[in-house]
Structure 1
Amino acid sequence: MKSKSKILISSIAAIIAASLLAVANNENNNQDVLAAITKSSVVNKRVVKPRRQAKAYAVKNKPVKNVKTAKKPVKAEQTKAARGGSGDVLKPKVGTRPQDNLYLAVNSKWMKKAKIPADAVSTGSTDEISLKVNRQLRQDMADFADGKKPLPNIPNFDKAVELYKLARDIDKRNNDGAAPIKADLAKLEGIKDFADFNAKAADLYNNGMDLPLDLTVSPDMKNAQKNALYFSSAGTFLPDTSSYKDPNSQKLLAVLKKQSIDLLKLAGVSETDATTYAENALKFDGILAKNVKSAEQNADVTSQYNPMSIQNFKAKFTNFDIQQFLKGTVGKEPDQIIVTDPKFLTNINQVINQDNFAALKGWLIVDFINGAAGELSQKFIETAFPFSQAIGGQAKLPSTDKQAFSFVNGDFGELIGIYYGQTYFGADAKKDVTNMVNKILQTYESRLQNNTWLSKATKEKAIDKLKSLVVKVGYPDEQSGSYKNIQITPASQGGTLYGNDQAMTIESIKENLAQLFKPVNRNIWAMSGAEVNAAYNPQVNDVTLPAAILQAPFYSKTQSRAANWGGIGTVIGHEISHAFDNNGAQFDKYGNLHNWWTQKDYTEFKKRIKAEDKLFNGIKYAGTKIKGKQIVSENVADLGGLTVALQVAKSEGDNLRELFENNARIWRLKATPQAIKTILAVDVHAPNPLRANVQAQCQDDFYKVFKVKSSDGMWLDPKKRIQIW
């Protein structure tokens, strides 16, 4: 269950989802990434438990075959060695040799034929699986709603079905118009002045309205068994603070301004007031953009851990009544609060003050109307589309049934994941993948034991952490209990989609804050079993492999063992490697931010991290240059995942050519130019083609398997090949 569907990019929830909960982008669906980005603080709501979308059901797949080169391949001497291979990885070129560009050699035929669905921003391996699973689950949900299928024996599942009925009933939503939001919109419009805002801020927060600041309860990074209170900033309207330097930024903001005015007019606000609100909202957004962290800065998880006493924290505020706000939200104050963005706190009085009140009020209203639009009529939905369309390049809106399922899956993802796992995930696949996990863990331990640059003391600590790591495969046996207090009011009793979602939001915020003085529940899964994804959580030291990702091209009983190692094998290794990337390596086996390294070993480790940063930094992609620092943790995990999967495959005598080819295959992606630009601004992963090519360039086995020469495009000087784990 989510708290609010508005994801504030700089909030602790987004931080945990995007960086602390190091999620691999090969699994991470680009539709979801863009959904989060384009709905930054505008069309999403505050998230305590991030919204997820279901992805994939089991299908039979043909064995993966070696990629055939064309009769007239590109001659090696026509190319030049480069990081990421020669040629433009965004342009398919059938006949490319794997020696020159592995990604293009494997994926060019697919790239030429692949079509991005009109209601999507990309297509690729994860997107294709997601389409299949969503299609199946949408049909199942419709059958449950129509009484064609009996409800599964899953507690609270009936609530998901009831909400789905409301979501798909577009006729009722059209008839309701703006009525469901009138009371909440009136609350915001009724804020008279800054003093009135101070008096009402806690109530606004408790009722799910976004504020420029946020409070979230999450495990304390230095004591992961205990929960802590985190303070963070709101996100910006554009994807990232760096987006405001783009020449196109003013055009995007103009689209948002017009969209917001049109939405407010639909809700009954006069054009004059709507225009004033929108103009003021953009002013306040500009203030925020100058005072919050960028995605690149947030890539360093430890920079988000800035504990201070509650008294010192409160002393920072001279304008906003933080004492009253804490009393009205948290109630009993903790002794300590953790600040994720010190810059924002330092400048808090320049952001929230009497002089900025009109701008702040406009921001509250614009944020609200854009966030609520998707829960109202078709006219509201269409009116709220231009901004996300401009950000992501999506040609048209998804159908009502797709939107309805996506909405319900966002609220009840855990339950839908359990249903998916129980219905479509086979015991044989779970047994086989678990066996693969154990082999990778054993090989990883061996690699640590035989590591040449670590001391004995650090090796022992690393191996101890590895042995303590828990791997969750498939779906949870039991639900977390988040849904027991939720009640869905059906249409027959006057219920609306917005009203029920708002009630869930309020309950979720209440539940999250109530965890402050309670021990951490370490059994909660990082994501739904129906998600095509995988994750490592450093604060629990566990890996999650949802059932939905365990199918081709990532995994299939019908494709070769080597292909499986190149697919799910590298994913498993990737997530385990997050325990030892530049962020995860700073957490111990218990999930605490604690230094377990010798000083000499950590100095060497940082040298290797810097080399990985340098390896990617400055590579030209889609008209821009890659920021090595922003993506270094994911690159370390990619490198570790491919390296350990290769070693396991070699020990089994598998065909390494098939491994490399399928690893390139899982990264195939075709996206709109807008989506690519947006993802590059905020994502902590390297672009998919580079994840395939650059990591392969670091493997000596790649050169042996494909007989790569120094004159080939994929050649990388041995001195520049990075090895960490």
Structure 2
Amino acid sequence: MKKDQIKNNYYEAVNGEWLEKAVIPGDQPSVSAFLELHLGIEKTLMDLTSRWEKEKSSLSKNLQKYIDLYQMTKDFEKRNQLGTKPFDIVSKKIEKLNNLKDLKDVFKELTLEDLELPFGFMVMQDFMNSNNQILYFGAADLFLPDTSYYKDEKQKAQLISLFTMTSKQLLALYGYKEETIDKLIKDALAFDELLVPVTKSSVEKADYVKMYNPLSKKEVQELTNNFDLMAMAEALVNEDVDQLIITNLDFIKAFDDIITDDNFSIIKAWMILSNAIKFASDLTDEIRIAGGAFRRALSGVKEAQSQEKYAFYQAYNRFGQVVGLHYGETYFGPIAKKDVEVMVHEMIDVYQERIKNNTWLNEETKEKAVKKLSTLNVHVGYPDELPPYFDQFKIKGYDNGSDLIQERLAMTKIINVYNFKQYNKEPNRNLWGMPASMVNAYYSPTNNQIVFPAAILQEPYYSLKQSKSENYGGIGAVMAHEISHAFDNNGAKFDETGSLNNWWTEADLKAFNKKSKDMIDLFEGVETGYGQCNGELTVSENIADSGGLRCALEASKNSGHHNFEEFFQNWARVWRNKSSIEYSQLLLKVDVHGPSILRANMQLSNLPEFQEFYEISDKDNMYLPKEKMVSIW
């Protein structure tokens, strides 16, 4: 690495050669350290799937079902032969609706089958009592990915034009006539426009505690005279419901102005178009490709996935937890699981010490924070159990008159019936939110739980071939990042039980909010080469990155094998990323994670040890004055 490059753009100094050579796959919007691992796992799982086809009888029952579904998804000859006929089961349900009463009569059925509806319910943990699960209510998503796209008239016109063009092409393939298509799209966009003023932006959604707005049964009924929401809620959970958690108060306050019989024709058009897009992936190859055209254009993806890869994912996405468990047990195993668990607990211990030695918290708050850390629930590698609904799945197959949409509706209904049965029940905290074969990690505030799937526990994040410092700069920082989410601007509002509860002293909360604002200011408006960073949107992840990096550095220094350069280099290495300009600009508007170049450079600039080790001066771009540095955890 060149010395001047180190001091001016550390991310490029470390990743320059990779950035020059890296090629974004045609069916992807970007390539990154994450994606490289993902593609390796993808190949492993696709090879496994091909092998399993030949030895199906030796597999577990649920893996046999996975193979049965895969053999349906990859039979594009049969899919093309069936044409749009499988969609009739969906379109007929919508076409026969003429008013809100008709929608009410079938609302439960359509919800359980997960058809696109203008509003809906979900069972999630109660923020105020994490040992119980309750009903949340919200509106459908917009056609464009964020409300900001609707505020810029020029950008809105361009994207709506693109959406209209791709929707026309798709509906024509479904067999709709041109006149019908034009009216359907016009009406669907009219309903979408009604949702814009009552939809939260990505920045607002990032403060997810604000989605917790309890309304009593009476309050809901007073706001929703046009449609009996409480009756629908009670039908879904098969018991009395005394309140709903409203994820967006603006929508329910405007409910009776938007959800009306006068508007039903545009609601119905919205449902037809939305479901045509949703189920396109289950039909012919031409329709599948057309159905994803708008999303690909938004992200700058050059081509649709190959038939082979798409067929794999169609089956895998239904059975990801089942396939993931096999992957974790086979390719990760109990020995590595134990080794990584030890490392996680080591990071927790370092974090506890950092909190105890913290200079801006009072003792009372420190004790609560340490208690939260000591009860942190750690899951590594693969889960101990899977959701029980996989056992209920039955793949009928083409020979028995089934098709991919029938299979999808049946499996979705089983999952949703199970989920709604969890109403007023204690959650099973052993269940994971992602498969073990996913390259990712997460913190759950309502479970006070961190999860590290086996897939991420590979080079450059973690490897026995790497030095201790490299592993600390990679997976160690990721681990501490997830721990830090327990204390970011959202996670800090939940206590050690996972319930929404202010455990801070007034003075400490004020100090924390000030530091959070400083973190927002540190990233706000920083140029990335494809637009400016939104400090408010990315604040939770930036707090977690900062805390994770500091904690991992301390653990590395305590290890007896510390090397600053190896640590810093691997931190920069794990964020290497090359994206299409369209995707980069999209993420700036909707992603709570900061751009990769800032996650690498800004977080290192914000570290005194980095400045001292490389002797960074005020003449260097990597320089950040000490008075501007933000240290929270």
Task: Work out whether residues 168 and 404 of structure 1, in 8 Å CA contact, stay in contact via their aligned partners in 2.
Answer: yes
Amino acid at match of 1:156: N
2:573 is the counterpart of 1:676: no
Task: State the alpha-carbon separation in 1 of the partners of residues 190 and 440 from structure 2.
Answer: 37
What SS does the corresponding residue of 2:389 show, helix, strand or coil?
A: coil
Q: Give the Cα–Cα distance (whole angstroms) in 2 for the partners of residues 199 and 224 of structure 1.
A: 33
Amino acid of the residue matched to residue 622 of structure 2? M
TM-score by length of 2: 0.97
2:277 maps to which of 370, 375, 399 = 370
Match of 1:180 among 86, 91, 104: 86
2:324 is matched with: 417
Spell out the pairing of 1:52-131 with structure 2 (5 A cutoff): 68-69=1-2, 74=4, 97-131=5-39
2:459 is matched with 552
How far 1:333 moved relative to its partner?
2.8
Partner of 1:629: 536
- Deviation string 1:397-421 (CA, Å, 9 cap, x unpaired) is 1111211121222111111110101
2:199 partner letter: V
**Structure 1 residues 645-670: Cα deviation after superposition (integer angstroms, max 9, x where no partner):** 00011112410111111100000000
Distance 1:674 1:119 in 2: 14
The corresponding residue for 1:309 is 216
Amino acid at match of 2:103: F
Q: Residue 395 and residue 335 in structure 1: after superposition, are their counterparts in 2 closer, same or farther (change >3 A)?
A: same
The one-letter code of the counterpart of 2:149 is: S
Determine the structure 2 residue equivalent to 1:164.
Answer: 70
Match for residue 237 of structure 1? 143
Partner of 1:219: 125
* CA distance in structure 1 between the aligned counterparts of 2:424 and 2:158, rounded to whole angstroms: 46
Equivalent pair of 1:583/1:633 in contact (CA under 8 Å): yes
Deviation at 1:181, TM superposition (A): 1.1
Partner residue in 1 for 2:112 = 206
Residue 354, structure 1, aligned to residue 261, structure 2 = yes
Letter of the structure 1 residue corresponding to residue 580 of structure 2: T
Q: CA deviation at 1:150?
A: 5.8
Aligned twin of 1:608: 515
What CA distance in whole angstroms lies between the structure 2 residues aligned with 1:434 and 1:328?
Answer: 43
Gaps of 5+ in 1: 1-67, 75-96
**2-structure distance, mates of 1:193, 1:312:** 24
Deviation sequence 1:273-324 (CA, Å, 0-9, x none): 2221111111111111221111100111211111121221121112223244
Letter in 1 for 2:449: D
Q: Secondary structure at the match of 1:288?
A: helix
Q: Report the Cα offset of residue 426 of structure 1.
A: 4.0
1:228 aligns with 2:112: no
Cα distance in 1 between the residues matched to 2:31 and 2:295: 17
Shift of 1:467: 0.4
**1:193 is aligned with what amino acid?**
N
Q: Greater CA deviation, 434-443 or 686-695?
A: 434-443
Aligned mates of 1:455, 1:675 — CA distance in 2 = 43
Select the residue among 205, 214, 222 that pairs with 1:298: 205
* Residues 603-640 of structure 1: per-residue CA shift (max 9 Å, x gap): 11111111111111111224432221111111110000
For residues 56 and 316 of structure 2, the distance between their equivalents in structure 1, rounded to whole angstroms, comes to: 18
Identify if the C-alpha distance between structure 1 residues 230 and 276 changes in structure 2 by more than 3 Å, giving closer, same or farther. Answer: same
Letter in 2 for 1:283: A
Q: Where in structure 2 are the equivalents of 1:244-643 lying within 5 Å?
A: 244-246=150-152, 247-643=154-550
Q: Structure 2 CA distance, aligned partners of 1:415 and 1:196?
A: 38
> 1:390 Cα shift?
1.4
In structure 1, distance between residues paired with 2:297 and 2:198? 25
User: Percent identity at matched positions?
Assistant: 37
Give the Å deviation of 1:498: 1.6
Matched-pair contact (CA < 8 Å) for 1:182–1:267: no
Does the Cα contact within 8 Å between 1:255 and 1:386 map onto a contact in 2?
A: no
**Counterpart Cα distance in 2 of 1:228 and 1:328:** 14
Offset from partner CA, 1:167-215 (integer Å, 9 cap, x none): 1111111111111111221221222234433433333223321211110
Greater helix share, structure number: 2
Equivalents in 1 of 2:610, 2:234: separation in Å?
Answer: 60
- Partners of 2:64 and 2:56 in 1: how far apart? 12
Once the two structures are superposed, residues 363-389 of structure 1 have per-residue CA deviations (whole angstroms, 9 ceiling, x without a partner) of 000000000000111111122232112
**Hey, what's the Cα distance between the residues in 2 that align with 1:630 and 1:335?**
34
- Which residue is 2:45 aligned to? 137
Q: Structure 2 stretches of 5 or more lacking a match?
A: none
Number of residue pairs matched by the alignment: 631
Residue 255 of structure 1 deviates from its aligned partner by: 2.4
Q: Return the alpha-carbon distance in structure 2 between the equivalents of residues 303 and 477 of structure 1.
A: 33
Report the Cα offset of residue 596 of structure 1: 0.8
8 A contact 1:232–1:340 mirrored in 2: yes
SS in 1 for 2:310: helix
- Tell me how far 1:119 sits from its aligned partner: 1.1
Q: How far is 1:422 from its partner? A: 1.5
**Does the residue aligned with 2:443 lie in a helix, a strand or coil?**
strand
Distance in 2, Cα, partners of 1:470 & 1:218: 19
Q: Which moved more, 1:346-355 or 1:558-567?
A: 346-355
Give the alignment's Cα RMSD to 1 decimal. Answer: 1.5
2: distance between equivalents of 1:101 and 1:588?
A: 39
Q: Partner amino acid for 1:465?
A: K
Give, in whole Å, the separation in 2 of the partners of 1:336 and 1:319: 18
**Aligned mates of 1:411, 1:557 — CA distance in 2:** 33
Kindly indicate whether the alpha-carbon contact (under 8 Å) linking 1:203 and 1:328 is maintained by their aligned counterparts in 2: no
Bigger Cα displacement from structure 2, 670-679 vs 251-260: 251-260
2:147 and 2:465 map into 1 onto residues whose CA distance is 46
Change (3 A) 1:403 1:508: same
- Is 1:711 the equivalent of 2:619? yes
Q: Distance in 1 between matches of 2:76 and 2:320?
A: 22
* CA positional deviation for 1:327: 4.3
Counterparts in 2 of 1:3-14, with a 5 A limit? none
How many angstroms does 1:595 deviate by? 0.9
One-letter amino acid of the counterpart of residue 283, structure 2 = L
Alignment of 1:30-69 (within 5 A): 68-69=1-2
- In 2, the alpha carbon distance for the partners of 1:385 and 1:222 equals 39
1:380 & 1:129 partners in 2: Cα distance?
A: 30
The answer for the alignment partner of 1:650 in structure 2 is 557
> Looking at both structures, which has the greater relative contact order when contacts are Cα pairs under 8 Å and sequence separation is at least 6?
1
CA offset digits 1:414-442 (Å, max 9, x no partner): 11110101221144432332222122111
1:629 alignment partner, SS class: coil
Name the aligned partner's letter for residue 539 of structure 1: T
What is the CA–CA distance in structure 2 between the aligned matches of 1:129 and 1:256, rounded to whole Å?
32
What SS does structure 1 have at the residue aligned with 2:263? Answer: helix
User: Secondary structure of the equivalent of 1:99?
Assistant: helix
Q: Is the CA contact 1:252–1:390 (under 8 Å) kept in the aligned structure 2?
A: no
Aligned-partner Cα distance in 2 for 1:151–1:657: 49
Q: Give 2:302's aligned amino acid.
A: A
Give 3-state SS (helix, strand or coil) of 1:482's partner. helix
Q: 2:631 — aligned with what? A: 723
Q: Greater shift after overlay, 587-596 or 389-398?
A: 389-398
